[in-house]
């Protein structure tokens, strides 16, 4: 895009090019056909105008070739647009496995961010340039929506479940972050910035603000504060499922159903444990709904996930500058 043309936001992610190209193709196609039809309407009206007050028109028979052409050509164009759009959509939906994860909580009317290293921010998110970034997003109250125009990403943040999206910033800078779903009186103030930094600067920024404990450690603390560990112990398998190594596995329920243990499964099991009783156990777990905030839930889920994925746990536990530089 021309630099001084203010019709487009800045392009700062790997999605910008493909989203803009698709958008321009759709607009260009619409403009071309609008213009073509408008010109034909005027030209035909003039060309076949009534020249004498007593002239009478004569019926035209249909032209099969013409009708097939103006059906098949637009059909082909639209099907092409569909596949093109689907390709962009799937690229945006497939999260690279090596993406760095950040935790987002939307609430009336602010954005809260947590880094796995433990850093927390409000209405600002610092990220490294050139690395895929994954957001796991929850809402404390109503539907919000994350929108970063410069990255061409937007996703609703819906209460009651996690939503995820990813992007990769291509240049450093401070980019607008909007809530783009009307969420109450101060919706228009629910704005912030994403600050993309060169990786070395980002590491330095992380170190300066790094709190005493990682997110997973905070989750572990909650795990004992809420007394989860009285039942979920590796030596008390009869009372509650063992959580070590559970993440990513398939669990079977009393009612015959099954599910893969992922973030949303863990979230629901904490807030609504009786909805999914794992076969072989009694429904004795109380709900923790109302006792734990979405931010804390992020920590707890991360803690349990890392019990199940030792490799990921190592990444966070050894998040020293030298180790970080490798991913
Ligand atoms: Cu949150 Cu609008």
Please tell me the distance from the alpha carbon of residue 150 to that of residue 17, in angstroms, as a whole number.
Answer: 11
Q: State whether the beta carbon of 146 lies less than 6 angstroms from ligand 1.
A: no
Residue 300 has pLDDT above 50, yes or no: yes
Average pLDDT of every residue of the chain: 85
Q: State whether the beta carbon of 278 lies less than 6 angstroms from ligand 1.
A: no
Nearest residue CA, atom 1 of ligand 1?
144
Q: How far apart are the CA of 91 and the centre of ligand 1, in A? A: 26
The closest-lying atom of ligand 1 relative to the alpha carbon of residue 142 is: 1
Place of tokens 């209405």: 123
Does residue 96 or residue 1 have the better pLDDT?
A: 96
Q: State whether the beta carbon of 157 lies less than 6 angstroms from ligand 1.
A: no
Q: How far apart are the CA of 296 and the centre of ligand 1, in A? A: 21
What does the pLDDT look like over 122-160, one tens digit per residue?
999 999 999 999 999 999 999 999 999 999 999 999 998
Q: State whether the beta carbon of 206 lies less than 6 angstroms from ligand 1.
A: no
Mean pLDDT of 191-200: 94
Q: State whether the beta carbon of 104 lies less than 6 angstroms from ligand 1.
A: no
Q: State whether the beta carbon of 107 lies less than 6 angstroms from ligand 1.
A: no
Cβ–Cβ under 8 Å, residues 176 and 290: no
Q: Is 290 left (phi over 0), alpha (psi -120 to 50) or beta?
A: left
Cβ–Cβ under 8 Å, residues 243 and 308: yes
To 10 degrees, the CA torsion angle through 83, 88, 90, 93? -160
The closest-lying atom of ligand 1 relative to the alpha carbon of residue 106 is: 1
Please tell me the distance from the alpha carbon of residue 104 to that of residue 148, in angstroms, as a whole number.
Answer: 14
Q: Max Cα separation, the chain?
A: 101
- Tell me the pLDDT band of 238, cut-offs 50, 70 and 90: low
The first and second tokens of residue 233, run together, are 């112990």
User: Is 185 exposed, middle or buried (CB count within 10 Å of its CB: 0-12, 13-18, 19+)?
Assistant: exposed
Nearest Cα to Cα of residue 302 among 237, 206, 221, 210? 221
What does the pLDDT look like over 106-131, one tens digit per residue?
999 999 999 998 888 999 999 999 99
Q: State whether the beta carbon of 181 lies less than 6 angstroms from ligand 1.
A: yes
Mean pLDDT of 199-216: 87
The closest-lying atom of ligand 1 relative to the alpha carbon of residue 188 is: 2
Q: State whether the beta carbon of 191 lies less than 6 angstroms from ligand 1.
A: no
- Tell me the pLDDT band of 243, cut-offs 50, 70 and 90: confident
pLDDT score, position 19:
93
Q: 102 phi and psi, to 5 degrees?
A: -125, 150
Q: How far apart are the CA of 184 and the centre of ligand 1, in A? A: 7
Cβ–Cβ under 8 Å, residues 271 and 288: yes
Place of tokens 């496995």: 97
Q: Is 326 left (phi over 0), alpha (psi -120 to 50) or beta?
A: alpha
Residue 230 has pLDDT above 80, yes or no: no
């Amino acid at each position: 895009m021309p630099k001084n043309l203010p019709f487009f936001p800045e392009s700062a992610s790997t999605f910008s090019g493909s989203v803009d190209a698709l958008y321009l193709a759709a607009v260009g196609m619409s403009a071309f056909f609008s213009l073509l039809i408008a010109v034909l309407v005027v030209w035909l009206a003039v060309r076949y105008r009534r020249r004498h007050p007593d002239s009478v028109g004569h019926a035209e028979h249909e032209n099969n070739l013409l009708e097939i052409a103006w059906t098949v050509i637009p059909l082909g164009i639209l099907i092409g647009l569909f596949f093109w759009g689907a390709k962009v959509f799937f690229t945006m939906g497939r999260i690279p496995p090596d993406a760095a994860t950040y935790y987002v909580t939307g609430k009336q009317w602010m954005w809260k961010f947590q880094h796995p290293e433990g850093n927390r921010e409000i209405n600002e998110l610092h990220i490294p340039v050139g690395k895929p970034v994954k957001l796991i997003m929850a809402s404390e109250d109503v539907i919000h929506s994350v929108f970063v125009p410069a990255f061409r990403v937007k996703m609703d943040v819906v209460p009651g479940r996690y939503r995820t999206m990813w992007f990769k910033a291509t240049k450093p800078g401070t980019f607008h972050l909007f809530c783009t779903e009307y969420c109450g009186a101060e919706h228009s103030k629910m704005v912030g910035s994403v600050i993309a930094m060169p990786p070395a600067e980002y590491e330095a920024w992380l170190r300066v603000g790094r709190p005493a404990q990682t997110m997973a450690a905070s989750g572990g603390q909650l795990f004992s504060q809420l007394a989860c560990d009285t039942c979920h112990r590796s030596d008390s398998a009869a009372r509650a499922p063992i959580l070590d190594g559970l993440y990513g596995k398939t669990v079977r329920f009393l009612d015959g159903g099954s599910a893969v243990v992922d973030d949303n499964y863990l979230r629901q099991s904490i807030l609504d444990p009786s909805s999914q009783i794992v076969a072989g156990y009694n429904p004795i777990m109380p709900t923790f709904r109302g006792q734990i905030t979405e931010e804390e839930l992020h920590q707890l889920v991360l803690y349990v996930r890392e019990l199940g994925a030792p490799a990921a746990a190592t990444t966070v536990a050894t998040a020293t500058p030298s180790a970080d530089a490798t991913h």
